[in-house]
A and B are shown apart, each in its own frame.
Chain A
């Protein structure tokens, strides 16, 4: 529908829900990573059990013109296994922390997946033909008796049922002492970075036995440690630029051309603290949980506990836009600290045209903000209260413990149901997000 997209409030509909519906959730099924690939055709999810499930979008249905294709399971494989570090006597979790797709170069798809210590490059390829007509082998593989062969023939490829194979092509191990929290593929399609709490390493995709350390904020004396790296990303267009966010709420932009070790930042994005709002929790809630460049490469979005901030890369002093995600939690910080929810790391994502941003919240709410001035909207990811192709109704959160139609009190929020991982289709109005063990896919309603 034509019209000024700015003033029109976009509507979202629940498209699909993946995963078990029952409340009994095993730890291993909890989704820990969600990522669309560069074309949006594939959607990968990683879980705490170290598995990756890839969904593929159906070709758009010709009959239903207003419906985008559905996502169906394409491939499932075990990416990481639990390990035991014998030297430290500690387990290494197999939980998938991040998944990043490589841009597609040929028929196969490649993705990087990482747990706390090891990054793996997976190749996902299809096989839909197989050779048939061997001279020396039967169809089932047994060898024929050579004396029974009387003629010769050339084997030909025959179609077969589609088989999707995932094979690990590279394993990048033993480069991180601390827990890896981010990976990011460079725009040059040859290198990528991996960031742990104190260091960032630069890898070449082809070499697994070496990586370059480009950022190291580990103090010589660990007693003086006060800040850690929380997120990192390469610039989408400039292959020499990357950013990393810290637990103190600052984001540093580094240029790899300046030095081999980029401890000296090129730019420091930090908003001065509001002294009137200072509390014991100020630092914790300022910790950057996610940083994402816009598709244009001009802006950068940071997510801290209560807000989303949009930064212009040319201005370091303050963000150009700030959106309150769940300001009503500010008075509950002490309780959230007690139950550890204050340490939850929410992700955020840009829309395909950078006009909107989205992030998750508690009670299976997620927030969408249009950057053209329209107020944010709170929507709920719930299969019970949504029907497909029916637009989601916005929620309001009020003080106290009221609960009525479209309004819920702060005290009624369920902090165990949270949406940490979100991803936006790179070219279309489709968003995917993970509640505890379900994957929700929403589509923008086409009018």
Chain B
């Protein structure tokens, strides 16, 4: 039985970290064979308290679902009040003798709410995939994108209302402390390693005028903003492998990439004990909506960027809607972008940044992707 990756942030003030619903589902699936009964996660919006976690007798930091009962298995409580109980009191937790409280009615209700939340999560994941997988050669359908984004927003709002959204945004956005350089390095590393791998999702860096602003890293929404205060990059699943073992980035990109990956044994166990939480992002998590939605639509417009080395060029082209440069960064590498090693990256830096030269369409697009990507790294740092 794999212990649940426990995070005990030292400086966590109000909201402790807990696994995201997606991870929860993934973990549940992996534990499914060991659990004799239907597992459920009490995410009922009605506000019922979640079933408490039971500390695994073997491991001090692992909280697992008690699995000796036959009729019901208490699961990882995801409700906020339960989390507070679990974490703020350290090792104190309730034991399984509380299980007698659970009756059949609440079991049924919990099952329903769990399936609802799982459905909701899968809907969210599906929506995010749709937002990313746009046809690259033709402009994506704005109406469709808007509708999907509104659906995502709706789910987000409901999850925020539930209290589950804070979980999502806080947990796995503990990026690195030295933001840009390491991210760049990782990017390059990951790109080179991914040359033979099937691309799932690439990390998304979007610099859409967010340099000055607070940034939200919402890894579930597959969009990342680079900011001055904190650069939090959530990398793709394959990128995860690139990280050092002591780096705690529990990234759960696989829920966007493909559903099946979620069910696999997963790589969650790598980063268990990495408790660093560099950035407390509670404040930012509530601002998920506009920023991340901005990632989707901001790309359709030129933003007023801070004056930079290419300001003259930008002025020149300011009346031109060159928004799709930026769309590339968000949808970078999804389909046909060739994977580049570090040397290719350097090569592409040679031509100066500016409007793309007129070349064949496919070259143009991949060049644009790389160019923009590099530019944002440079500018963002």
Contacts and interface: CB of A to CB of B under 8 A. Distances in A.
Interface of A: 84, 86-93, 116, 177-179, 181, 197-198, 221-228, 230, 247, 280-281, 283-284, 287, 334, 337-338, 340, 343
B276 interface: no
A177 B123 CA distance: 31
Nearest to B155: A280
Contacts of B322: 87-88
Interface string B350-381: 00000110100100110010000000000000
Contacts of B126: 337-338
Interface in B308-335: 320-325
Question: Which 7 interchain pairs have the tightest Cβ spacing?
Answer: A223-B294, A222-B297, A88-B324, A197-B142, A222-B301, A225-B297, A89-B364
Contact of A223 (B141, B154, B155, B290): B290
Contacts of B323: 88
B297 A287 contact: no
Contacts of B368: 89
Nearest to A289: B143
Contacts of A222: 294, 297-298, 300-301
Give the size category of B's interface with A: 35 or more
Contacts of A283: 147, 150-151, 154
A280 B361 contact: no
A222 B303 CA distance: 9
B296 to A, nearest CB: 8
A177 B356 CA distance: 19
Contact of A89 (B150, B291, B361): B361
Contacts of A287: 143, 147
Interface in B114-154: 119-120, 123, 126, 130, 137-139, 141-144, 146-147, 149-151, 153-154
A114 to B, nearest CB: 15
Given A90-B324, A223-B290, A283-B150, 5 more contacts: A87-B322, A197-B143, A287-B143, A343-B141, A343-B147
Given A87-B355, A247-B143, A334-B123, A177 B151 contact: no
A81 B120 CA distance: 43
A88 B139 contact: yes
Contact of A228 (B146, B153, B291): B146
Given A227-B146, A284-B151, A221 B139 contact: no
A226 B123 CA distance: 19
Contacts of A225: 146, 293, 297
Interface in B265-297: 290-291, 293-294, 297
A116 to B, nearest CB: 7
A223 B298 contact: yes
B298 A247 contact: no
A444 to B, nearest CB: 35
A90 B322 CA distance: 11
